[in-house]
A and B are shown apart, each in its own frame.
Chain A
Amino acid sequence: MLINFPYIDRDSPVHRLDTRAKFILLLAYGFAVAQTSNFWLMLGGFILAAYYYKQAHLKWSETKRAWYLIIALNVMIIFVNYFLSGGAVVQGVDLPRHQHVLYYLPFLGLKGHFPFIGPTPLLISVESITFMITQGLRNFSIALFAIPIPYTTNPSDIGIAFKRMGLPDKFAYAVDLSFRFLPTVARDFGTTLDAQRARGFEIDKLRGGIFTKIARLAPMVVPVVIGSIVGAEDIISAMELRCFGVGKRTWFTELHARRIDKIIITLSIAGFFAITLLNILGNYYATGFLHVLHVQGIPAFLAP
């Protein structure tokens, strides 16, 4: 049984980006777009994210599995969220006193009196449709920044990147070590599964109820976990003999941020702070530019 890292060794602008820039860009963008549901800002962010994804030069055949999941997930989130909220899906933005209703969808909902369930039409309005589109743009734009990371980042750069972003040495080294352990763990899983199969254990033919099935997973999980812990003793001894943790650690790989990396990091952090400041100021100014994050931005001809 093999675990292959999805990293594709290719020369593209995103591949050449410093690992820190990719993570900071993703986090800053994620935290920024969580603070607003303005359609135009979200559309701008989506276009930026799409451009970034295009620069990664990833093929559909390489990422389609991830995208199938993301698309299914986001569509489900948006529509289930709408139904579970009873049509009152808009949140975090100013709503007009009367929404611009397009249709009432026949549906069932909970009532406060017997029989506690009854017809509850779901509101379909310009505002709710705009909000759902904005939600989709937000989720897909975050995915456009997130998905390229495993495909464009060498796993050996992850540990040093976290170290340079301020994570303590021991944690950063543990991140690096965990990537190195992965193939060994996968091999152990495969070996254990084959050995248990030889003893009549079939993971895809577990009989019994849910509790029994889970308990019957033990012959696969327990030997791998305990065997790995026992095997780790040799690694611990080897590291102690080499005085791990005694002094400041140096790294085999060094990251060198280029000008473009520094620009991206600076702009990401500055953008996040700007959005945050605008979000805070929007609570004190009811109209005007400073309130822009608190409105959906629906054009007047759609919502007169």
Chain B
Amino acid sequence: MAVSEGREERSRPTIWGIGVRQVVYMALGAALYGGLSYLTNILQLPATSNVSFRPGIVIPLFFGVVFGPWVGLFTGGVGNFLGDYISGYGVYWNWDVGNGIIGLIAGLALYFTWGRYYRVASIVTAEIFGVVGILVGLGFAAYSDIWVSKYNFAAATGNFVPAALSDLINGIILLPILLVAYNAATRRMGRG
């Protein structure tokens, strides 16, 4: 069983496949991200726009690198939607898409790590994909406001830089902690 499971995991369709497990983790990740975003939305960064201090950014990163790009995309996109929804702020599609891109790109780490983070090299790989995801995702969200809200480039950069810095710091510090804790939990469950 372990051998066939190992073979089954090492395939492209498995990385992009959506089964029952992925559906549940999508929903769970979105709820965690939305809930934590709601709780920390009161912590605002000094910037040109509404950018809050979000340790919850680690959640789309974690769910992406462990469960795949679809789970990461859903966790980031729907999670951000949920956070704004329950705060009563409404729906702002470009920031939802941007957060989804963060999780999607982080999920691409699965091509190199196969969802296993027992080695430092794998954790570093996850961090690199997380950093790229944050830069691309937040870049999309912030700079799309040039078209959506008619910002100029400097104002969009004024949105992007503090948001990216905050998310990078939160993600880089909390992601390895969460991955190590997840390893320990899966070993106890006998799934490691």
A residues with a Cβ closer than 8 A to B are 1, 3-6, 23, 26-27, 30, 34, 37, 63, 65-66, 69-70, 73, 76-77, 80-81, 84-85, 88-89, 91-92, 131, 135, 138-139, 143, 146-151, 170-171, 173-182, 184-186, 189, 210-211, 214-215, 217-218, 221-222, 224-226, 228-230, 232-233, 235-236, 239-240, 244-245
Contacts and interface: CB of A to CB of B under 8 A. Distances in A.
Nearest to A237: B20
A240 B62 CA distance: 24
B74 A171 contact: yes
Interface of B: 18-28, 30-32, 34-36, 38-39, 48-50, 55-56, 58-59, 62, 74, 78-79, 82, 85-93, 147-152, 154-155, 158, 169-170, 173-174, 177-178, 181-182, 185, 189
Nearest to A145: B90
Nearest to B75: A178
B155 A229 contact: no
Nearest to A86: B154
A81 B173 CA distance: 32
Contact of B91 (A23, A91, A210): A23
B169 A229 contact: no
B90 A181 contact: no
7 contacts: A1-B39, A3-B86, A177-B23, A214-B55, A222-B178, A229-B185, A232-B25
Given A30-B148, A91-B152, A138-B149, 13 more contacts: A26-B91, A73-B50, A77-B48, A77-B49, A85-B154, A151-B88, A171-B74, A174-B78, A181-B32, A217-B55, A221-B56, A239-B20, A240-B20
B123 to A, nearest CB: 15
